[in-house]
Amino acid sequence: MSYNVPSVDQSDRRVPINLRQSGPTPVEMLIDTRVRKSPYWELSMEHGCWRASIYNRMYHPRGYVSREDGGMTTEYQSLVNDVTLWNVAVERQIQVKGPDAEAFVNYVITRDATKIPVMRARYVILCNEEGGILNDPVLLRVAEDEFWFSLSDTDLMLWLQGVNVGRRFDVAIAEIDVAPVQIQGPKSVDLLEDLIGSVAREIPSYGLHATQIGGRDVIISQTGFTGEKGYEVYLIDATRFAEDLWQVIVAAGERHRLRVVAPAHHRRIAAGILSWGQDMDFETLPFQVNLGYQVPRKKEADYIGKARLDEVRAQLEAGEEPYRTQLVGLAVGGRPIDDYAPDFWLISEQQDGEAVGYVTSPWFSPELETNIALAHVPLQLSAIGTEMWVHLPEQYAETPGEPVRATVVEVPFRPSVNPNQRELLKTRGLDSAV
């Protein structure tokens, strides 16, 4: 038998990324009590959810429109033309509350927590002592002494509680019964205005607003996973009131052609928004994935990972290569990639050469009329305009068994309606890795 062991050099990692090309390998997902159902789970089923993934030890809806009716492409059209509702309760909320809340948060994130005003949010990262990214949540400051970490896909609560065992900050750290939904798309502000009044149009990017929807307490942020205009609605006491919030939003959304959809990874890729577990993990440094702006030069307070991150930045400034791969954007040939990739597809420098990198997040962009992808490639191949070859599975290859051409391009791939912080900094020349 032949062994499916790709040759990409990952000697700088303790646990290499699994690059075996196994394909879809269809299996039935077992639904049991070991994995949590969110308060919105049954509501997602009522709206036609037909597949799911696991995220933060919770079942996560990942498809509503059937493949026969256009699948994710149809869901995408609703996002970019109208308005969509997403069940994202998997973004579990970890509350840090107490007299030392600001000091504690400042110790565990790389950015300066003291500069976050009350009722504002920020995209942040938390690193381990080796500089590896543990989580990249949206951080909400809901009070002077209270922060919520809206998590990406790692169980950060255990880390935060463990850190405080030795440090003894005067804070309480626990998950709270708050579950968000996202309202995303160009008509999202119109829908939100119908729900809470004209104040909806005054919520700034990464601003927070406390109010009620359907008589239930919520906090709304102008954030999202798309680059489109959009909001997240954090329902308090979600276990009790999920139906109340959901049904009010759906009813108000009818006049705006609202559709319940899964997270639009094709749009977040175009915006250059990263997905933890795909584009980065515990062994990835911020500089590797274009998050150097998250590592401030002027933050005087100590934080976890600071010494290592300062060391890596100094190495980069000296022209050294402290890591092997860099995350880049690729324009990729082949047939339209219209679904989630089951593998990290391999990249070679030559058409018939050995694999040197791998695709993390691919999809077809209707606006750009080409496949786009985020990918890890060797540093020497990361310059804009560099050409290489991607080994797509047979259904997407131009010629079965042959790789397709790919070119390194700028990220984001297209301007965002609601640009994230890196996009804003890029326009001011402040997004450099060093």
Q: What is the pLDDT of residue 434?
A: 39
Q: Is residue 343 part of a domain?
A: yes
The predicted pLDDT at position 339 comes to 94
**pLDDT confidence band for 433 (50 / 70 / 90):** very low
* Range 406-431 average pLDDT: 74
What is the mean predicted confidence (pLDDT) over 289-295?
Answer: 97
Tokens representing residue 364 in the block = 């077809």
Say whether pLDDT at 40 is over 70: yes
Look at residue 30 and tell me if it is in a domain.
no
Helices (H), 11-86: 41-46, 71-81
What is the mean pLDDT of the segment spanning 155-183?
Answer: 96
**Mean pLDDT computed over 166-178:** 96
**How many domains would you assign to the chain?**
1
Mean pLDDT, the chain, integer: 95
Residue 310 lies in a domain: yes
H-helix or E-strand spanning residue 189: helix 188-196
The pLDDT assigned to 115 comes to 97
At 370 the three-state DSSP class reads strand
Q: What is the pLDDT of residue 2?
A: 64
The binding site for substrate consists of 232
Query: What mean pLDDT do residues 153-181 have?
Result: 96
Check if the beta carbon of residue 296 is closer than 8 Å to that of residue 115: no
Supply the pLDDT for residue 415: 81
Q: How confident is the model at residue 421 (pLDDT cuts 50, 70, 90)?
A: low
pLDDT at 428: 52
Q: pLDDT per residue over 304-349, tens digit each?
A: 999 999 999 999 999 999 999 999 999 999 999 999 999 999 999 9
Average the pLDDT over 298-304 and give the result. 95
Query: Does 325 fall in a domain?
Result: yes
Name the token pair of 54.
């696991």
Taking the C-alpha atoms of residue 430 and residue 426, their distance in angstroms, rounded to an integer, is: 6
Q: Mean of the pLDDT values across residues 392-411?
A: 96
Domain that holds residue 369: 275-427
Asked whether 63 and 50 are in contact (CB, 8 A), the reply is: yes
pLDDT score of 3: 78
Span 2-14, mean pLDDT?
88
How many other β-carbons are positioned within 10 Å of the β-carbon of residue 97?
A: 18
What pLDDT score does 424 carry? 65
Tokens of 22: 């196994």
* pLDDT beyond 80 at 425: no
pLDDT of residue 316: 96
> Region 46-51: what's the mean pLDDT?
97
Q: Is residue 128 part of a domain?
A: no
Q: Would the pLDDT of 416 be above 50?
A: yes
The pLDDT of 111-128, averaged and rounded, is: 98
pLDDT, tens digit, 9 for 90 and up, residues 201-255: 999 999 999 999 999 999 999 999 998 999 999 999 999 999 999 999 999 999 9
Residue 136 has pLDDT above 70, yes or no: yes
> 376 lies in a domain?
yes
Is residue 285 domain-resident?
yes
Tally Cβ neighbours within 10 Å of residue 387. Answer: 11
Q: What is the dihedral of CA 57, 63, 64, 65, to 10 degrees?
A: 180
In a domain, 385, yes or no: yes
Banded model confidence at residue 7, pLDDT cuts 50, 70, 90: confident
232 CB contacts (<8 Å, ≥6 apart)? 88, 91, 138, 150, 180, 181, 182, 183, 220, 221, 223, 224
**How much of the chain exceeds pLDDT 90, in percent?**
91
Residues 6 or more apart whose CB falls under 8 angstroms from that of 395 comprise 335
Provide the annotated binding site.
232
Residue 221 pairs with which residues in a beta bridge?
Answer: 208, 232
- The CATH number that applies at residue 411 is 3.30.1360.120
